[in-house]
């Protein structure tokens, strides 16, 4: 299973569903860019991908739309104090830790800032979510994270506040190559994810 970093959907909910039906399965999780996931699905180097759907060739891949990723401000209460997430103009003035450029989640943040004529005060960028969390915990910066990413639940000193009208440019989905050959196991796991599909009337 290939995963984009900061996707805003808990992949363990998928693995738990798969394991209930196929307890003998083992899993290999790879954190990759959206482009790398599609390339590896196309070459059968991955069975399934959990990725953004904006660049998906729908003639080549089947997909299940799972979530629209909403964005929040993550900070450590020992170093920063907010009753609610600031507006974008104020966010741009904070020392920020962001995912490396080129990743869809970062592109969505850059688009939100540019569309408002803002340039972020970038303190740190990394392709490692763990490094971003370490930087936030050290008080080096605040970070922008998916609301359902869960670091605030794992570390009580962290707080994740929703940013008004902040979401990724495209929804997240589970993806499988359409053309043969593809494994029967991948097809079975893909079908098990169908009940998790986002409702058509769910707000975007």
Beta carbons of 14 and 67 less than 8 angstroms apart = no
Tens digit of pLDDT for each residue in 7-56?
778 888 889 988 998 899 899 999 888 889 999 999 999 999 999 998 88
pLDDT attached to residue 184? 86
pLDDT attached to residue 62? 94
Which of the pair, 97 or 6, is modelled with greater confidence?
97
Question: What is the SS3 assignment for 45?
Answer: coil
- Single out the residue of 201, 199, 189, 203 nearest to residue 62, CA to CA: 189
pLDDT attached to residue 110? 94
Beta carbons of 3 and 30 less than 8 angstroms apart = yes
Indicate whether this model's pTM tops 0.85: no
Share of the chain above pLDDT 90, in %: 51
Strand partners, 177: 61
Share of the chain above pLDDT 70, in %: 94
Model confidence at 126: pLDDT above 50: yes
Model confidence at 117: pLDDT above 90: yes
| 184-192 helix and 11-21 helix, angle to the nearest 10 degrees | 120
Looking at residues 163-186, what average pLDDT do you find? 89
- Single out the residue of 58, 54, 3 nearest to residue 27, CA to CA: 3
What's CA 21's distance to the chain center, in Å?
26
Which of the pair, 68 or 62, is modelled with greater confidence?
62
Tens digit of pLDDT for each residue in 141-164?
999 988 876 666 667 899 999 998
pLDDT attached to residue 153? 65
Rounded Cα distance between 25 and 22, Å, is: 6
């Amino acid at each position: 299973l290939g995963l984009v970093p900061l996707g805003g959907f808990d992949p363990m909910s998928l693995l738990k569903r798969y394991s209930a039906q196929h307890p003998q399965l083992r899993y290999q999780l790879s954190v990759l860019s959206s482009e790398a996931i599609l390339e590896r699905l196309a070459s059968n180097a991955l069975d399934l991908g959990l990725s953004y759907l904006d660049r998906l060739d729908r003639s080549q891949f089947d997909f299940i739309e799972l979530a629209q990723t909403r964005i929040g401000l993550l900070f450590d209460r020992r170093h920063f104090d907010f009753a609610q997430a600031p507006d974008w103009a104020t966010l741009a003035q904070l020392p920020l830790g962001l995912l490396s450029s080129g990743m869809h989640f970062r592109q969505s943040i850059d688009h939100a800032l540019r569309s408002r004529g803002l340039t972020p005060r970038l303190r740190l960028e990394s392709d490692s979510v763990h490094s971003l969390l370490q930087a936030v915990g050290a008080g080096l910066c605040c970070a922008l994270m998916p609301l359902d990413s869960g670091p605030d639940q794992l570390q009580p000193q962290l707080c994740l506040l929703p940013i008004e009208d902040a979401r990724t440019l495209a929804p997240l989905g589970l993806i499988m190559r359409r053309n043969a050959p593809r494994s029967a196991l991948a097809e079975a796991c893909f079908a098990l994810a169908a009940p998790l599909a986002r409702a058509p009337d769910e707000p975007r």
